[in-house]
């Protein structure tokens, strides 16, 4: 960034004051929270995250310094809840990703199910479990998604990311209303809560750095005839 475009010291100071104000507001919202998902706490959290991010950017641009603060999920967080105070209906949206880690295991499980269910392993004269996509159809047609999630290794699957959203509404949807596009009309402000699972949350940068340091250590092997000499008492 050029000198002409750099923020002024006054702008950095104002951003710092905004962080202080946002901190006070967040603490006050937490102290008077009405429940686990209080919308005022959520809104104060987002304002604090935005203020901290602005201050961090201005501080870096002006002084080439950064803050030690990191608020997780600030960029990807949902907007404040603006749905009905007393919902009469709710929708639960779930996405679970899997990798087909063991195709042969998946095929074998599907063929076993098909053999039992269809007496001889054929549906309309053909084997539905003869292909991977057919095997998946058999598997998910037989078991509930929650059971597959708990037994995924048995079916040759490996878990990936997953998310669950609970959304609120004033009235239930009409039968068949959203079946053509079940996930396209989700209002982020109607999301009551969400739960995300991902391997990325398990990554610890400090652990990764430690592993890299271990990789840099040279392994030294002693000759079979070489003995280690004990340290002198004065040197121990």
| Cα–Cα distance, 3 to 132 (Å, whole number) | 60
**In the predicted structure, residue 26 carries a pLDDT above the cut 80:** yes
77 and 46 in contact (C-beta within 8 Å)? Answer: yes
Contacts of 190 (CB under 8 A, 6+ apart): 81, 82, 83, 167, 168, 169
DSSP reduced 3-state for 202: helix
Alpha carbons 5 and 63: distance in angstroms, whole number: 13
Is the model's pLDDT at 58 over the cut of 60? yes
Alpha helices in the chain (DSSP H): 9-31, 39-63, 103-118, 132-142, 145-150, 205-216
66-118 pLDDT per residue, tens: 888 765 554 455 677 888 888 999 999 999 999 999 999 999 999 998 888 76
The number of residues in the chain equals 236
Work out the pLDDT band at 45, boundaries 50, 70, 90.
confident
pTM (global) more than 0.95: no
pLDDT in tens, 159-208: 999 999 999 999 999 999 999 988 887 888 888 888 888 887 765 555 55
Higher-confidence residue of 37 and 74: namely 37
pLDDT range class, residue 139, cuts 50, 70, 90? very high
């Amino acid at each position: 960034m050029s000198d002409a475009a750099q923020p002024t010291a006054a702008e950095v100071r104002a951003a710092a004051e905004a962080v202080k104000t946002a901190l006070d507001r967040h603490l006050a919202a937490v102290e008077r929270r009405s429940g686990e998902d209080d919308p005022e706490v959520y809104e104060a959290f987002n304002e604090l995250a935005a203020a901290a991010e602005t201050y961090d950017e201005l501080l870096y641009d002006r002084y080439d310094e950064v803050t030690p603060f990191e608020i997780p999920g600030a960029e990807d967080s949902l907007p404040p809840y603006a749905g009905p105070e007393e919902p009469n209906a709710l929708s639960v949206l779930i996405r679970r990703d899997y990798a087909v880690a063991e195709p042969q295991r998946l095929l074998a499980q599907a063929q076993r199910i098909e053999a039992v269910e269809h007496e001889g392993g054929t549906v309309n004269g053909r084997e539905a479990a003869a292909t991977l996509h057919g095997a998946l159809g058999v598997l998910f047609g037989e078991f509930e998604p929650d059971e597959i999630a708990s037994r995924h290794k048995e079916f040759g699957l490996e878990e990936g990311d997953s998310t669950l959203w609970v959304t609120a509404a004033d009235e239930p949807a009409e039968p068949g209303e959203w079946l053509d596009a079940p996930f396209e009309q989700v209002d982020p402000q109607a999301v009551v809560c969400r739960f995300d699972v991902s391997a990325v949350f398990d990554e610890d940068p400090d652990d990764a750095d430690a592993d890299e340091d271990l990789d840099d250590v040279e392994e030294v092997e002693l000759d079979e005839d070489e003995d280690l000499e004990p340290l002198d008492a004065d040197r121990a």
